[in-house]
Amino acid sequence: MPELAVDLLIVGGGTGGYAAAMAACSLGLRVLMTEETDWVGGQLTSQIVPPDEHPWIETLGCTERYRAYREAVRERTRATRPLTDLAMADRFLNPGSGWVSRLCHEPRIGWEVLTDALEPFITQGLLDLRLETVPVRADVDGHAHPSPDEAGFVPGQAYRAGTASRVRAVEFLDRRTGNTFVVSAPYVLDATELGDLFPMTGTGYHVGAESKADTHEPHAVDGPAEWDNVQGITWCMALALDEGSNRVIDRPANYDFWREYHPPFWPGKHLGFDVLHAHSGVVKELPLFGRRPEDWYALFPYRQIIDPHLWSEPTHPVTVVNWPQNDYFVGTILDVPAAVKAQRLQESRELSLSLLYWLQTEAPRHDGGVGYPGLYLRPDITGTDDGFAKYAYIRESRRLDAHFMVLEQHVDAGLNPGEVLAPSFRDSVGIGAYRLDLHPSTNGANTIDTSTLPFEVPLGALVSRSTSNLIPACKNLGVTHLTNGCYRLHPIEWNIGESAALLAAYCMKTGVEPAAVLDSDDHLRAYQNLLSQSGIPLRWPRFKPL
C-alpha cells in the first residue's frame, strides 16, 4: 500500500480544516488534506449554512483570512450576478438580505472563492487535496487502530480516557476509486465534522452532555453524564419560490410519520409554525412570510440567500432551510453502529423532504388559505442532484479531552455580572462571540439559549491530554456540551483551524510539543506572536454582552 509523507496531515476539509490548510501552506509546509464530500468548506459550503456571526463582524472580531473570504464572496457576487447599481455600490452587500447574518450568500459562491484560494498552493505542490476520502485506520505508536465502525464500537460512555501515544500515520479510503493509501506526518489535525480521529487513535474525548457533578455548570445535566445527549443535526436544502406555479413533489414515503410527530417538549407538531421562545417559554408563531411587508420575523427571509430586489433581472427568492422544523433529534449519530448512523442521516433527509411537502400542501399561508405549491428546490446552488446539502449540518462533535475545558462559567454573562468581556486566558489563540445556543438534543432536552460575553479561545483547549501530535482543528476542541453552543460558529471554527495549523508549524520549527508550548511562557509568547503576525486577534476590545 502506498505511503505518503508530508509535514502536516489535515483530516477533514470543512471550515476549520480549510482554514488550517491555508495557514499551513502560507508558511511553506507540505500539506495533505482529505475531505469526505467533493466540496471544501463544511458548514460554509457543503452544509449550505449562511455564516452565523457576531454583531461586530464587519469591522473586527475575526481573523484576516476569514475577513478576506467574506470580502471575496461579495466581490464574486458582484462579478457574477446581475445586481442593481445600488447593490453593486453597497460596501456591506448582503446578497440574500437574510436577517440571520450580514452575509447570507450562495454556498456555491463560497465554494468557488475557497477553491480559487487553494489553487496556488496546489500548483506549487504545497497542498495535496483528496476529496471524497475518509480515514479508516490509524497507526498509533506502531499499532493499528481501526475506525469505530469497523471495530464494532460499543456506545454508552460520555467520557473515554486516552493513553499516552503518538499518531504515526493514517490510512484512507478514496471513495471514488475504492483505493486505500497511507499518510504519515509529524502532526495530524482532526478537522472532521464528528471528531472521527479521536476514537480511531485512542485519544481521550467527551461525547454528549457532562454531569453537573463534574463541571458545576448551571445548565449541565443532573445525575450521570449522558453520552447520547447531543444537539440535533439538520439536513439543509435550498428552496426557491415561484408564486403562481405548481411544483408540488410526490408525497414522501414517511410523510405521515413526520406530519404527526410531536416532540414532548415542543408546543405542537414538529411540522408547524409554532415555536417555543427560549427565554420566556411563550409560544410564538414563526410563519413562512409575515402578514405585512414590514413583518421581518419569518422563516423564508431568515436565511434568504438570493433577494430579487437586489437583482436587475427577474429572479426568484431563495432561502436555506435550516429551521426548527427540520432539526432532527430522534437519535444521535455519534458512537453508534454504522447502520444506525446511516439510518438516522437518511431520516434527517426524509424530515426535510417532508417539511417541503407540508409547506407546499398544508402550511397556513400568510395571506389566507393553505400551501405554497410554488416552492421548489435549487440543486444548482447546492452542487447536488436534488437541492439538498452535500452533508448534514453538524452542530456538535466528539470533543477533545484537553488540558483545559471551556465551561459555561467562562462565557455566560449572567455568571460574570458587571463584566463586558469573558475572563481572559493567558494562552489565548483567538477570539469569538456568539450566544450559548443549543438546539434540542437527542435525549429530549429542549433549547438552551443564554447571553454570553465575547470570549477567547484558550490554547489549553487544543492540547490533548493523551495524544501528543493530534490537534483539534474545528468544533471538536476542549469545550463542553454547553460551551460547544457558542464555539461552533463559522468565524470561530475558522480561527480554531488557523491556530491549530500554526501550532503544528511552531512545534515542528522548534522541536517542542504542544503541551510544552502551553507550559512555557517563552514558547507561548513566541507562538502567540506568530498568530498575531498571521492576522489572528488574541484579545477583544471592551464591549457589551450579546
**152, pLDDT greater than 60:** no
Phi, psi of 132 (to 5 degrees): 50, 45
Give me the mean pLDDT over the 365-392 stretch.
98
Can you tell me the mean pLDDT for 325-346?
97
Tell me the pLDDT of the chain averaged across its residues: 96
Q: State the pTM of this model.
A: 0.97
pLDDT of residue 154: 53
Residues 6+ apart with CB under 8 A from 192: 11, 12, 14, 17, 36, 135, 397, 474, 476
Give dist(CA 13, CA 15) in Å, integer.
Answer: 7
pLDDT at 539 over 50: yes
User: Would you kindly state where each structural domain of the chain is located, as residue ranges?
Assistant: 3-210+395-533, 233-382
149 pLDDT above the threshold of 90: no
The answer to whether 498 touches 67, Cβ cutoff 8 Å, is no
Please, which pLDDT band fits residue 296 given cuts at 50, 70 and 90? confident
Strand partners, 127: 31
Closest CA to 98 of 374, 319, 273: 319
| Tens-digit pLDDT profile for residues 512-537 | 999 999 999 999 999 999 999 999 99
Q: Is the pLDDT of residue 119 over 70?
A: yes
Indicate if the pLDDT at residue 364 is higher than 90. yes
Does residue 151 have a pLDDT over 90? Answer: no
The 10s digit of each residue's pLDDT in 462-500 is 999 999 999 999 999 999 999 999 999 999 999 999 999
Q: Could you give the CA distance from residue 282 to residue 279 in angstroms, rounded to a whole number?
A: 8
- What is the percentage of the chain residues whose pLDDT exceeds 90? 90
Mean per-residue pLDDT for 296-324?
97
Identify the pLDDT of residue 156: 65
Pick 490 or 153 by higher pLDDT.
490
Round to whole Å and give the CA distance between 225 and 254: 33
In this prediction, residue 494 carries a pLDDT of: 99
Whether residue 193 has pLDDT greater than 50: yes
The pLDDT value recorded for residue 164 is 77
- pLDDT of res. 345: 99
Pick among 3.40.50.720, 3.50.50.60, 3.40.50.300, 1.10.1040.10: CATH of 3-210+395-533: 3.50.50.60
Cell of 50: 449562511
Return the SS3 of 381.
Answer: helix
Digit-coded pLDDT (tens) for 80-115: 999 999 999 999 999 999 999 999 999 999 999 999
Q: What angle do CA 464, 159, 200 make, to 5 degrees?
A: 60
Residue 70: partners with Cβ closer than 8 Å, 6 or more residues away: 51, 57, 103
Q: Is 384 exposed, middle or buried (0-12, 13-18, 19+ CB in 10 A)?
A: buried
pLDDT band at 281 (very low <50, low <70, confident <90, very high): confident
CB 217 within 8 A of CB 407: yes
Give per-residue pLDDT as tens, 30-65.
999 999 999 999 999 999 999 999 999 999 999 999
Q: Is residue 294's pLDDT more than 80?
A: no
DSSP 104: -
Q: In this predicted structure, what is the pLDDT of residue 150?
A: 54
Confidence band for 420, pLDDT divided at 50, 70 and 90: very high
